Structure 1
């Protein structure tokens, strides 16, 4: 969709459809009179209010959340009044969700809509309201239909944001709009990668597409390490996961350097698990659990999308992005349970379960990331089913070795209205990941605390006291239909906005 700001507007920009907000207020009970819910529309123009009140059925419309009322002005313009409920209870996440619902409703019927933006501004915060409104609309318009012979294309192409805000605010609001569209575009790219079929998005194809997508972006350098290079790097754990694959492993190394680097410029490394498909290896998954394992690379697409957005926004933070790509397949060369393999950092790992493979790829990638000397490392992975047991399928788990870092990420999650909760890594979890015949083992002695034990394992590969945070997105990487701006089925793109906000404020 194309978004256009129309500031200092004195009339509607569209003769097709005008969208206005409506709110609901409560009149307390007095005497024998019961409490009443009535329409709050003092922000409507006189002519719109007069036309609305001339319609007998308008008295039934109270502006309750999601309620709709359509009427026509004398010049033929259609006006859609959309209820946002009690304004004192509406927050930016609520606005984001309602904007998504509006988009879903309109995209099948209208080519253009003029939104009376002032009526959607919450708490007099026009910039934050613009961001939430556009995010909701853009994210809801996403479709993954590249393999459909008949595509159901959206009719909605033009959105005009009419506002009485003075034109002196144009530069600031346009910047917010442009930045929001870069982030939502990057989320769309991540969703496309995750939704793509695994027979198409092999590790080698994935690496090529990432490089093609980021090519030409100012400040970005890239390189790819294949099997030969990973052997030279002594990434035995990463290679052990790839051993059963017919396709080469790929470590994509991206670096964004801002145009003005000073001694205060922070350097953040992002590391992502890119398992383009996970059979479980010899520890084979049951058939039902193997479905949707194309989503096992969502961690890599999440950090890549955040990296992409930061680079395109030209933010003043240096970012290294490390993506570990392979599939976990079975052939005569595949790693067997009970194998002992040495990681890049020299530690030996007893691989008791080949389905606990993501942590093996991440381990070598984390050690590699440490050599880039970042100020902090954040990894993202669909790592454990245990995180769903702990937090459900709507909350991202965060663990780490530095409270200051995890608190900053949690603050960004709160700012962007994304759900995240910290899980502990206690001494006993570290002890449980030790093997009697190797330095470490890749699964704990019991399934309890599985997410934190996986993080305890990964912590052994973060060196030089670098602050590190691990994001387990296994629960929230896909099918988050409880949010109107996420597809009911398929990649969600959640946590990307959190990471961009964190990097923006680094």
Structure 2
């Protein structure tokens, strides 16, 4: 991912391969306007006037000739013909002024990332002052969109791109606010990239013991402490759900606890992540196509790791406990069977009727473990149900909680981050569907009926009374089958930036 610097120098002095200028779309033509008329020229952003003089080009006329309208993510390419060090000027559209927000800036920045994918360095100015967009927020959004748009998972390519955007200079705006925004955006984007990398990693290279080792490496040298419980410690501690899921694999399960405890922290938040490093379905075996992307079933754990380490780098004044429940769900002679019963960490018994509803089993222990740390609030993240994708699609995650304040805080953070969430109900009377004839609970309800809600109600059973709790079902948003905006194909990094925005705002509940 590129590195960033902020400088007060004029854009024309930039020693860069390409220069980018933001542009706000002009008002739309009246319906009765002549269709053959020249399109209105967008309003060019900071640095455009000096740049036009330096290269002796009427940028407005060029935009008109190219029929560049300034819509979000549109790009006009104008050669400089050697007049300045940069060989190319990019005019990037931000959309209409009245619609200009952080998400528009992210999308525009991602378009710049695509347009500069063969360049090493870029200089630009930051759009600011339009509508609700303040300089710090604009800078943060620009860096997030550019970095996430430039992301590539190429670790296993025998040949990597020789040219990739490495350096970005933000010119003419060397204020504390812009500098802070650039730094925050850089940390947020790198955190999302950590989660993307973990999700995109082949399952064979992140089995539970190896995943725990990878996390240990990630937190090394930070203010985050790590504790790892191996299979023996899990057996002694009564973590029956993690043991039940993991015993079908030759790679034993792990529970990882991360702790970030800054001096003076007044809030204690526990983040709990589902970490099924590969989900075959167990003996309730998935189809071949159903397994195709199941290396991503640890997206919740990846998001927790990325969030906790980024919060420490940002020095957020919130105490964090991160709990990762890591297991590989495989079929074998030692795998759990439909009809088996296990005892969770909090003493409740669970009848397993479908081994492919395993995420809630490992989370039962992880939530009980997190509750023992007596946090002020618990949020779990899990690629839990296909039902949430049916309900909300692949670009919106589900929020389930009894606590209105917690829901409001998470939803507000998602609006800020652009990682969309939607609250779903959690009605107590649906709990009837979890009653078992032989245990306290069964792990599935009626097939095809309210699957996401039933999953949330199951998890609620393992959070200690009195602790505000929310469940984020990220099955649809942790992975994308196609590229759009600043989202690349594969792991998305969601909802890391949402959690960081929520924590920055005080993690209210």
Q: Which moved more, 1:345-354 or 1:39-48?
A: 39-48
For the residues of structure 2 that align with 1:28 and 1:98, how far apart are their CA atoms?
A: 22
1:442 equivalent in alignment to 2:446: no
Deviations 1:414-441 (A, max 9, x none): 1112211111111232111111221100
- Tell me which residue corresponds to 1:259: 263
Cα distance between partner residues in 2 of 1:225 and 1:9: 55
Describe the SS at the equivalent of 1:353.
Answer: coil
2:100 to 84, 90, 96: 90
Counterpart contact for 1:142–1:188, Cα < 8 Å: yes
Alpha-carbon distance, 1:255 to partner? 0.6
Unaligned runs of 5+ in 2: none
Looking at structure 1, the residues matched to 280 and 131 of structure 2 have their Cα atoms a distance apart, in angstroms, of: 47
SS of the counterpart of 2:13?
coil
Change (3 A) 1:232 1:25: same
The structural deviation recorded for 1:345 is 1.3
Q: Does 1:99 align with 2:109?
A: yes
CA distance in 1: counterparts of 2:475 and 2:5, whole angstroms: 37
For residue 76 of structure 2, the aligned residue among 68, 80, 88 is 68
Establish whether residue 245 from structure 1 lines up as the match of residue 249 from structure 2.
yes
Q: 473-482 or 205-214, which moves further after superposition? A: 473-482
Distance 2:177 2:59 in 1: 39
SS in 2 for 1:38: coil
Instruction: Give the Cα–Cα distance (whole angstroms) in 2 for the partners of residues 58 and 182 of structure 1.
Output: 34
Give the TM-score taking structure 1 as reference length: 0.92
What residue in structure 2 maps to residue 139 of structure 1?
148
Cα distance change of structure 1 residues 479 and 3 upon mapping to structure 2, 3 Å threshold? same
Q: Distance in 2 between matches of 1:174 and 1:337?
A: 56
CA distance in structure 2 between the aligned counterparts of 1:73 and 1:193, rounded to whole angstroms: 43
Structure 1 match to 2:395: 394
Counterpart in the other structure of 1:177: 182
**Residues 7, 171 of structure 2: 8 Å contact kept:** yes
Aligned partners of 2:253 and 2:326 also within 8 Å: yes
Say whether the 8 Å CA contact 2:128–2:135 is kept in structure 1: no
CA contact (8 A) 1:237 1:363 kept: yes
Q: 1:254 to 1:453 in 2, by over 3 A?
A: same
After TM superposition, give the deviation of residue 484 of structure 1 in Å: 1.8
Please tell me the root mean square deviation across aligned C-alpha atoms, in Å. 2.3
Q: Deviations over 1:14-71 (max 9, x none)?
A: 3643211233323754998678730033653166169333997653245412041404
The 5-angstrom pairing of residues 437-476 of structure 1 reads 437-476=438-477
Structure 1 residues 52 and 306: alpha-carbon distance in aligned structure 2, compared to 1, 3 A threshold = same
Q: Where in structure 1 are there 5+ consecutive unaligned residues? A: none
Cα 1:37–1:439 shift into 2, 3 Å: same
Per the normalisation by structure 2, the TM-score is: 0.92
Which residue number in structure 1 is paired with residue 14 of structure 2?
13
Counterpart contact for 2:24–2:44, Cα < 8 Å: no
Deviation string 1:211-266 (CA, Å, 9 cap, x unpaired) is: 11101212x221100111111211112111111110121100111001334xxx10
Count of residue pairs brought into register by the alignment: 496
2:139 alignment partner in structure 1: 130
How much has 1:116 moved relative to structure 2? Answer: 2.8
Question: 2 CA distance for matches of 1:452 and 1:54?
Answer: 54
Superimposed CA distance per residue, residues 339-390 of structure 1 (whole angstroms, 9 cap, x where no aligned partner) = 1111111111111001100000000110111000000000001000111111
Q: Is the 8 A contact 2:100 2:132 kept in 1?
A: no
Q: Distance in 1 between matches of 2:440 and 2:82?
A: 79
Moved more, 381-390 or 172-181: 172-181
Structure 2 residue aligned with 1:505: 505
Q: Quick check: 1:26–1:37 contact (8 Å CA) kept in 2?
A: no
Say yes or no: does 1:226 pair with 2:230.
yes
**Is the partner of 2:457 in helix, strand or coil?**
helix
- CA offset digits 1:106-150 (Å, max 9, x no partner): 121x22221133579664511111011110111111111111111
Three-state SS of the structure 2 residue aligned to 1:52 is coil
Q: Is the 8 A contact 1:26 1:36 kept in 2?
A: no
Query: Which of 197, 200, 204 is the matching residue for 1:199?
Result: 204
Q: Distance in 2 between matches of 1:437 and 1:323?
A: 29
Change beyond 3 A, Cα 1:505–1:42: closer
Counterpart Cα distance in 2 of 1:419 and 1:136: 15
- In terms of mean alpha carbon deviation, does 329-338 or 35-44 score higher? 35-44
For 2:287 and 2:89, how far apart are their aligned partners in 1? Answer: 53
The verdict on how the C-alpha distance between 1:54 and 1:267 changes in structure 2, with shifts beyond 3 A counting, is: closer
